[in-house]
């Protein structure tokens, strides 16, 4: 499959994430490039994504709260749809959330195949 066009990605801001998680009692924090910008007190560049961290035990709760997203586990160079009804495997260090409904509306000519 060819890479998706750049306009497929519409990264959230830390403010949007804070709003989305405001009524959820979990510990989370922003990581990566946005964390540096927050520490500096200014946006230094455009961001292609928003990285945030939650405790592994709370990841299914956060994912269920963000139920408009589809979550994928990133491990060993592959993405597989995350099984959120069971504990996160220890070798999964990163999960990706995507609004596939929005993606398919914007780019209906891209076919997605996922290992479920």
Nearest Cα to Cα of residue 109 among 25, 16, 2: 2
Tens-binned pLDDT, residue by residue, of the chain (116 aa): 455 555 556 788 999 999 999 999 999 999 999 999 999 999 999 998 899 999 888 988 998 899 888 888 888 888 888 888 888 888 888 888 887 776 655 555 555 544 33
Cβ-contact 62, 23 below 8 angstroms: no
Domain edges within the chain: 7-106
pTM here is 0.76
- Strand, coil or helix: 78: strand
């Amino acid at each position: 499959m060819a890479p998706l066009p750049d306009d497929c990605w519409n990264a959230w801001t830390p403010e949007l994430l804070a709003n989305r998680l405001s009524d959820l009692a979990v510990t989370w924090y922003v990581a990566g490039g946005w964390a540096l910008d927050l520490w500096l007190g200014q946006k230094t560049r455009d961001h292609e994504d928003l990285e945030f961290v939650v405790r592994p035990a709370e990841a299914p709760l956060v994912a269920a709260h963000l139920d408009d997203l589809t979550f994928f586990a990133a491990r060993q160079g592959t993405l597989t749809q995350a099984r959120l009804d069971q504990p996160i495997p220890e070798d999964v260090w990163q999960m990706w959330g995507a609004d596939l409904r929005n993606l398919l509306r914007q780019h209906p000519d891209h076919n997605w195949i996922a290992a479920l």
